Amino acid sequence: MNLDRKTAHRIFIDGVWINNPIAITGLGLCSALAVTGRVKYALTMSAGVMFVNLLSSVAVSVIRKKIEPRVRMAVYTLIIAVLVICFDRFLKAFYPLISGELGPYVGLIITNCVIFGRAEVFASKNSPLLSAIDALGHSTGYAMALIFVSVVRELFASGTIFGYNMFSPAFKPWVVMEMSPGAFLVLAVYIWIVRFIQNVTERKQA
Amino acid sequence: MTAEKRIFYQLVSAGFLCAVIIKFVVVFTEPYIAKNADIAEKKALFSLFGLNYPDNRIDEVFSKYIKVIRTETGSVYKYYTDNTLRSIALRIDGMGFWGEISALIALKPDLKTIDGLTIISHNETPGLGAKITEPEFLSKFHNKKFLPEIKIKKEALADNEIDAITGATQTSNALEKIINDDIREYLAQKEKWISQ
Amino acid sequence: MKLWIIFFASILTNNIVLTYFLGICPFLAMTAQISTAAGMGFAVTFVMTMTCAIIWPINHFLLAPFNAQYLQLIVYILVIAVLVQVVELVIDRYYPILYARMGVFLSLITVNCAILGVALFMTLRNYGYIESIVFSTGSGIGWMIAAIAMAGARAKLRFSNIPEPLKGMGISLVIAAILSMGFMGFAGWINLR
């Protein structure tokens, strides 16, 4: 198996930046808004998505030649669901506080379009190694978006990042940042920034 | 083998494999999850009683200071230091506005005053009903009387009244009902746990 | 009485898309026109209610007695996928005109996190059967109202000078932010004793 460094690099960058899941393709938004109240939760969710994405893409890629076309959707769903259940149980067992806060949103990773999309679009047509790189790229891009939004939200809503105080005690919390309007706004800003840097125009979108 | 048969076998084997993996993971994590619920309740008790504890000796500290009496309504936790009863905590559960609320209410040994309240779990609206877990709300219960019943309402003036949360009337009402109902039940079986 | 409260609260104060962020993808994608938004809203409400109507008995009579709650995720998503297929077939067969207008929405609904989300919330909150139906219908209607409001706002902005990087998804999110602030204003309304 000869892996061209350039190919690997290209696939990875495509996932992280050029087709950044949230800013460019607009997939996986539900969790980007729901769990970004604190950096801790955003990181946990990113880890979960990366775990499920990586393993599901590799699994789909390994069996891609043997799967009957008509059952592939069902099989993808099964694979992703099993992985999500594993991650959910893992959190409940070893990080119960975080699991309690994230609640049903961990289960909703199943419907995360990023994971399903990569399986259908890439992993079903490429080798396991390339699929793994693709999955890592996209989930890193996803993590980037979540970290940006959660850092801004947590910083302004409670003056902390990952629980560490950034401002003096005189800081007055900007409460709306912790609630829905703040989430929508910060995400809009993130998309604005990424699209501005990449010079994306609406016409370029599919 | 026809395509239909292949589809069938693939689905069945995929389903079977998934079931096996899930079963394995569930069985492996089950003891940890059960322990976590237990630890959460113990930690809530410690914070309610104002007990400091090192993270790795929770069970030790628990058995040293707290005595558990199980009743039909739930568990009664009595907190002793130097052989004197300091506080009695009652486990209360009930239906909140959106989902189950589990809490612990601490009473002073005279059984007339509330020592404190802490919420173990709930499913209320973030930003509104969820405020019942905040110290600003919970601290209002300190030193309030609970007989004949507590009232969580808008302008709390009397000894047994507590300020409700703005915009969370339903959650406040539900919490009030849970506390009153459960305390009444515990007091009805007082002999079972009062003197042990 | 409690049922009415659950119903109106799911639409206003606990709106499924503006408070819980479920169903965002179609909320941003399918709201370019009010008619599209309304059509999607009907489809979402319909599928949501049917899904909960079927999942509740499955959870209570199949999973709970066998202590198999950990299977909830897989069972729910499979039920949703199958149900949407069946609904599509039925509508296509018996109401072809309706299918021509709204059939495309149905396929998109399967991966709609709102459906799975509502099922999970209903389970988490331990609702009874009637409460689940009321909750899911209310959530669907709440989604529809928010979607129609979003479509209306976007229609008004069609000829505005929006910066290029913000067009489409970006500005929709800003509209959503303002909408959700508006809905937050309903917070104090439930004041019944």
Containing structural domain, residue A184 = 16-198
Question: Residue B158's CB: how many other CB atoms inside 10 A?
Answer: 11
Answer yes or no: are the C-beta atoms of A121 and A115 closer than 8 Å.
no
User: Mean pLDDT, to the nearest integer, of A131-141?
Assistant: 90
Whether C13 is in a domain gets the answer no
* pLDDT score at A30: 80
Yes or no, beta carbons of C9 and B167 under 8 Å apart: no
C139 in reach of chain B (CB within 8 A): no
pTM of the predicted structure, to 2 decimals? 0.82
Answer yes or no: are the C-beta atoms of A198 and A18 closer than 8 Å.
yes
Distance CA C106, CA B80 (A): 62
User: Mean pLDDT, to the nearest integer, of C118-131?
Assistant: 85
C187 in reach of chain A (CB within 8 A): no
Yes or no, beta carbons of C19 and B123 under 8 Å apart: no
Yes or no, beta carbons of C124 and B125 under 8 Å apart: no
Yes or no, beta carbons of A89 and B29 under 8 Å apart: yes
Whether A175 is in a domain gets the answer yes
Whether A5 is in a domain gets the answer no
Distance CA B174, CA B119 (A): 13
Yes or no, beta carbons of C187 and B128 under 8 Å apart: yes
**Residue given tokens 């007990």 in the structure block:** B51
* pLDDT score at A203: 44
Whether C10 is in a domain gets the answer no
A74 in reach of chain B (CB within 8 A): yes
Yes or no, beta carbons of A74 and C22 under 8 Å apart: no
Q: How confident is the model at residue A13 (pLDDT cuts 50, 70, 90)?
A: confident
Whether A7 is in a domain gets the answer no
CA distances from A39 to A34, A43, A51, C49 (A): 12, 6, 18, 34
Q: Is the pLDDT of residue C104 over 70?
A: no
* Contact residues on chain C for A73, CB-CB shorter than 8 A: 81
Yes or no, beta carbons of B170 and C9 under 8 Å apart: yes
Q: Is the pLDDT of residue A92 over 80?
A: yes
Q: Is the pLDDT of residue A71 over 80?
A: no
User: Mean pLDDT, to the nearest integer, of C171-178?
Assistant: 92
| Subunits close to B (at least 3 CB pairs below 8 A) | A, C
The C-alpha angle B115, B120, B125, rounded to 5 degrees, equals 110
The phi, psi pair for B165, rounded to 5°, reads: -90, 130
Which of A31, A104, A183 is opposite residue C124, by nearest beta carbon?
Answer: A104
Domain boundaries along the sequence of chain B: 48-194
Which of B26, B123, B170 is opposite residue C124, by nearest beta carbon?
Answer: B123
A residues 32-51 near C, CB within 8 Å?
Answer: 33-34
Q: Is the pLDDT of residue C101 over 50?
A: yes
* Contact residues on chain C for A113, CB-CB shorter than 8 A: 25, 111
CA distances from C185 to A11, C126, C181 (A): 46, 28, 7
Q: In percent, how much of chain C has pLDDT > 70?
A: 91
C16 in reach of chain B (CB within 8 A): no
* pLDDT score at C54: 92
A residues 81-140 near B, CB within 8 Å?
Answer: 81-82, 85-86, 89-90, 92-94, 96, 100
User: Mean pLDDT, to the nearest integer, of C85-90?
Assistant: 80
* Contact residues on chain A for B18, CB-CB shorter than 8 A: 78-79, 81-82
Domain total of chain C: 1
Yes or no, beta carbons of C70 and B128 under 8 Å apart: no
Whether C14 is in a domain gets the answer no
Domain total of chain A: 1
Which of A107, A191, A201 is opposite residue C169, by nearest beta carbon?
Answer: A191
Which of B26, B95, B169 is opposite residue C190, by nearest beta carbon?
Answer: B169
* Contact residues on chain C for A193, CB-CB shorter than 8 A: 165
Containing structural domain, residue C135 = 23-187
User: Mean pLDDT, to the nearest integer, of A147-153?
Assistant: 92
Distance CA A66, CA C155 (A): 48
Q: Output the six-digit token pair for B71.
A: 């009743």
| Residue A48: strand pairing partners | none
Whether C37 is in a domain gets the answer yes
Q: Is the pLDDT of residue C193 over 60?
A: no
* Strand, helix or coil for residue A159: coil
Which of C70, C124, C188 is opposite residue B166, by nearest beta carbon?
Answer: C188
Yes or no, beta carbons of A93 and B14 under 8 Å apart: no
Nearest to C131 by CA among C11, C49, C12: C49
Count, residues in chain A: 206
Yes or no, beta carbons of C14 and B125 under 8 Å apart: yes
B126 in reach of chain C (CB within 8 A): yes
- The lowest-confidence range among A164-168, B57-61, C50-54, C71-75 is A164-168
**How many Å is the Cα radius of gyration of chain A?**
18
Long-range contact pairs involving C125-132 (C-beta distance under 8 Å, separation at least 24): C125/B98, C125/B99, C125/B100, C125/B123, C126/B95, C126/B99, C126/B100, C127/C56, C129/C56, C129/C57, C130/C3, C131/C2, C131/C3, C131/C6, C132/C52, C132/C53, C132/C56
Which of B15, B32, B121 is opposite residue A93, by nearest beta carbon?
Answer: B32
Yes or no, beta carbons of C173 and A185 under 8 Å apart: yes
A103 in reach of chain C (CB within 8 A): yes
| Residue C168: strand pairing partners | none
| Subunits close to A (at least 3 CB pairs below 8 A) | B, C
* Contact residues on chain A for B21, CB-CB shorter than 8 A: 82, 86
User: Mean pLDDT, to the nearest integer, of C16-24?
Assistant: 87
Whether C7 is in a domain gets the answer no
Convert the pLDDT of each residue in B57-86 to its tens digit.
888 888 888 888 888 888 888 888 888 888
User: Mean pLDDT, to the nearest integer, of A112-130?
Assistant: 85
Yes or no, beta carbons of A68 and B6 under 8 Å apart: yes
Whether A74 is in a domain gets the answer yes
C residues 97-116 near B, CB within 8 Å?
Answer: none
Q: How far is B136 from chain A (nearest CA, A)?
A: 16
* pLDDT score at B77: 87
Q: In percent, how much of chain C has pLDDT > 90?
A: 19
